[in-house]
Copies of this chain bind each other. A is one copy, B any other.
Amino acid sequence: MARSTRESILTAAAELMRHKGYAGVGMKDIADASGAPIGSLYHHFRGGKTQIAREALVNAGAAYGLLIPTVVDAYTDLGEAVDGVFRQAAEDMAHTGFANMCPVASVAAEVADTVEDLRQATGGIFGQWIDGGTAYFVGRGLDGARARDVTLALIGALEGAFLLARVLRSAEPLLAAGRVLAPQYRGTVLTAPAGVGKAAI
């Protein structure tokens, strides 16, 4: 791989902040976890901590946004797809001991009212997920308004259920969300995946 120092810093920061939030992670922590000394952090990111957080969130967020389309790709019935998304999420969380899944949510919750710069960055990421998901579902035959509502409801319900599942250390909130959301979409047939749709996200 031969990852650059810059990349190491961003992946270390993303992983740390996913679990400990923004204020809870120090530059020293990022330096230690990435293997780079403090000076290198400021050499590569002159904007300091906020710039590192911003770029780390954008990187991790772009990758994480592919999750829903990737899972849904395997289904042709929207109801089963919704069910599959929450079952998959429940399985993944159980495997990690109910540690945080989403690399954006915790930091977003922490900075939304306080660090305008990072609020905008996280807003951009969520916006891309929403637009990308909407385009994906439109590509699979749903009309625009319905596609957007499904995407918003899926992302919202996932983020909320992630939080409850982490705190309660239980998959129940994720499975309950699936049980409630899936039935109404059962019978809605999705057209064949384009394969290109995912790239749009």
Binding site for B on A (CB under 8 A): 19-24, 99-100, 105-106, 108-110, 112-114, 119, 122-123, 126-127, 148-150, 152-153, 155-164, 166-169, 172-173, 176-177, 179-181, 183-184
The docked-state distance in angstroms from the alpha carbon of A102 to that of B177 is: 20
Contact of A109 among B109, B148, B172, B176 (CB under 8 A): B109
Q: Is the CB of B150 within 8 A of A180?
A: yes
Question: Is A112's CB under 8 angstroms from B167's CB?
Answer: yes
How far does the alpha carbon of A166 sit from the alpha carbon of B167 in the complex, in Å?
A: 21
Nearest B residue to A108 by beta-carbon distance?
B167
Q: B residues within 8 A CB of A156?
A: 157, 160-161, 163-164, 173, 176-177
Whole-angstrom distance between the alpha carbons of A180 and B147 in the complex?
Answer: 11
A163 touches B105 (CB 8 A): yes
Tell me whether B167 and A122 are in contact (CB under 8 A).
yes
Asked if B177 and A152 make an inter-chain contact with CB atoms under 8 angstroms apart, the answer reads yes
Docked pose: A183 CA to B150 CA in angstroms: 13
Q: Is the CB of A159 within 8 A of B163?
A: yes
